[in-house]
Amino acid sequence: MNVLITAGGTSEPIDSVRSITNTGTGRLGSLIADAFADRDNANHIYFVCAQNAVRPTSSRIQTIPIQCTQDLQNAVEDLLKREKIDAVIHSMAVSDYRAKAVLSTTSLAEALQRKLHTAKETTISEEMILQSIMQTAKIESGKKLSSQVEHPLLLLEQTPKILPQFRQLAPDAVIVGFKLLSNVPRTELLQTAHRLLVNSGCDFVLANDSVQIGKSQHVAFLVDHTGLFETYSTKQEIAAGIVNAVLRKEPRAK
């Protein structure tokens, strides 16, 4: 069995020294990778992770470091096209947004003023705002946004969704997705996880609530296609549970 595990949190650059990131550490992903490495039927284990993610300890695991969502997409596409992957564990915390443009409030106001004057419009539309931002905002590659900008505006755009792409690239693989919510009822957490499973073509989704994650505790629910779930209370239990679920999963119907 060949296994691909993603772990850690992506970092989306704003300029050469600033980025949008999250609190993903990769610790759970590293434990899952090591748990697979302890099994004789795991042949090749690929660990695609953020630069600062916790790494697995087993020498059997090949680590592939990435930074941003685009790096992640490129890495998994390349790997899945080169290798037959039998299981994908997508535990990485992928940013929902990345920087599209940065500018000052002064620059935007001046650009909108010019637009209104040139187009002889009396109202400001969303399209006009976006055009003004893209025509005004520029950070040259490798450059830093000046700290003299008093009120910088950051325009974000959505990043591509990685999880649904795994089923397209590895149609026969067992795929485990992850869903993290914060301080919601258990029924909502489980329903959201099952919806993600159906919409993304997963075999399992691990449902987490951030308020139930701590140093010694990590309550999580591994949901299957029927809506049934297994409950875990530590990261070690989660890692063992995911490995067991993947190994006993029957091959997908052709």
Pair 89, 9 in one domain: yes
Residues 18 and 87 in one domain: yes
Among residues of the chain, what percentage have pLDDT more than 90?
Answer: 72
Quote the pLDDT of residue 142: 59
- 189 and 207 in contact (C-beta within 8 Å)? yes
CATH number where 181 lies: 3.40.50.10300
Q: Which of 142, 158, 174 is the last residue of a domain?
A: 158
Query: 77 — phi, psi (to 5°)?
Result: -60, -45
pLDDT value of residue 141: 52
Claim to verify: residue 194 and residue 145 sit in the same structural domain: no
**Quick check: is 253 in a domain?**
no
Domain span holding position 85: 2-95+160-248
Mean pLDDT over 95-99 rounds to 94
Give the per-residue pLDDT at 11: 97
Residue 151 and residue 96 in contact, taking contact as beta carbons nearer than 8 Å: no
* Residue where one domain finishes, among candidates 109, 137, 158: 158
pLDDT tens digit string along 11-26?
A: 999 988 899 999 999 9
Asked, for residue 74, whether it belongs to a domain, the answer is yes
| Tokens 């697995």 found at | 56
Q: What is the mean pLDDT of residues 73-82?
A: 97
pLDDT score of 65 more than 90? yes
For the cut 80, the answer to whether the pLDDT of residue 88 exceeds it is yes
Residues 67 and 117 in one domain: no
Quick one: 8 and 77 in the same domain? yes
Question: Do 166 and 151 share a structural domain?
Answer: no
The total domain count for the chain is 2
Q: Which residue has the higher pLDDT, 136 or 182?
A: 182
- Is residue 254 a part of any domain in this protein? no
pLDDT tens-digit readout, 189-213? 999 999 999 999 999 999 999 999 9
Confidence at residue 129, expressed as pLDDT on a 0 to 100 scale: 82
Kindly state whether residues 90 and 196 are assigned to the same domain. Answer: yes
**Residue 118 covered by a domain:** yes
Is residue 146 in a domain?
yes
Same domain, 172 and 49: yes
Q: Which residues contact 224 (CB under 8 A, 6 or more apart)?
A: 197, 203, 204, 245
- Predicted pLDDT of residue 151: 81
Please state which of the ranges 25-29, 154-158, 193-197, 240-244 shows the lowest mean pLDDT.
Answer: 154-158
Dihedral of CA atoms 207, 212, 215, 218 in degrees, nearest 10, equals: -40
Lowest mean pLDDT among 33-37, 89-93, 137-141, 156-160: 137-141
Res. 123 pLDDT band, cuts 50 70 90? confident
